[in-house]
Amino acid sequence: MSQVKTSWNPETQAFIIPPAKDMEWVKTVEKKWTESDYKSIIEKIKHGEELTDNDLTVIENYVKLNPDEGLDSSIVNFLIGHELNRHSTYFNMGSYASTGRLAGAEALASIKKIKNGTWWRKPVSTTYSKTGYKTWKQVSGDVSRFNTVKTAKNTEDFLNGTGEFVKGKGVKGVAKSVGVFGGTLAVLDGVTIYFERVDQYGATSAAIDGVAHTGTAVGAMYIGAIIGSAIPIPVIGTVAGAAGGVVLNNLFNIVYDGFSHGKWEWGNLFKFW
């Protein structure tokens, strides 16, 4: 109202309003409004609700209006966890791409072998070889297909791990067992869980949860590899092993979280499936 009274020009019969940056009361109202939204965001995080893009904008504005004040710990932990989840998504995409490449190489090799009449444990088709034996061209094709699949398999092992306990002490042995992506995702999962729960359960409990989630992720990788190895069929074994690892990891985490925080309900399993 004060601004209106001082901005009226009787000669032009119009209001002359200065820029918002020059009006102190606008800054005060904006700051109070942002503080109100800021407090509501803290409550949303405490209740486990997801933040919207507008919420993130409010946090950004709060920092600009209060440069000398630190962010609430719950918001800091949420932002760190959110960033870690974003990186986990990138690693997951790379992991799936590697597994898909291997499955594709296996599928292509199988199709070519069937077409050439050189499928596993099948006699050589007389359509392609009158003698009943493989021609040099067929042998060369088999070697080429084998090398293609082997290269894809080596890449998969390097990125996602062999899923087997590899001999070797310390980091080298673990790295070969779980792979670059597999190990990184397991650690990221544990660290993310810590930052998501530290305000709710305390640092000690959150750290235990983080370690547990890392352990379940690594365990699921090994079991997934066992599933894949038990199905010696190209493509099917590879995909089943990868999918089995993901499903088991989620299942392990549901069971652990339910019992560790006294919130276990058998209905959780039905929700999972």
What is the maximum span of the chain, computed from C-alpha positions, in angstroms?
109
Give residue 126's identity as a one-letter amino acid code. T
Q: Are 148 and 166 in contact (CB under 8 A)?
A: no
- Domain assignments of the chain as residue spans, ordered by start: 19-71, 79-272
Q: How many CA atoms lie within 13 A of 157 on its CB side?
A: 13
> What does the block give as tokens for 238?
């590879």
Report the pLDDT value the prediction gives residue 253, as an integer from 0 to 100: 84
Q: Helix, strand, or coil here: 9?
A: strand
> What does the block give as tokens for 254?
């549901």
- Whose CA is closest to 39, among 15, 8, 74? 74
209 CA to centre of own chain: 17
Q: How many CA atoms lie within 13 A of 27 on its CB side?
A: 8
Q: What is the mean pLDDT of each run of 10 residues along the chain (273 residues)?
A: 76 78 71 78 81 83 78 84 81 86 87 70 56 62 83 87 65 70 85 85 89 88 83 84 86 82 60 51
Report the pLDDT value the prediction gives residue 21, as an integer from 0 to 100: 65
Q: Are 110 and 235 in contact (CB under 8 A)?
A: yes
- Whose CA is closest to 216, among 180, 177, 240, 189? 189
Distance CA 112, CA 134 (A): 14
> What does the block give as tokens for 129?
């070889």
Stated pTM of the model: 0.59
Report the pLDDT value the prediction gives residue 208, as an integer from 0 to 100: 92
Report the pLDDT value the prediction gives residue 165, as an integer from 0 to 100: 61
Q: What does the pLDDT look like over 113-172, one tens digit per residue? A: 777 666 655 665 555 555 556 665 666 777 788 888 899 988 888 888 777 666 655 556
Phi, psi for 8 (deg, rounded to 5) = -80, 130
Report the pLDDT value the prediction gives residue 168, as an integer from 0 to 100: 58
14, β-bridge pairs: 9
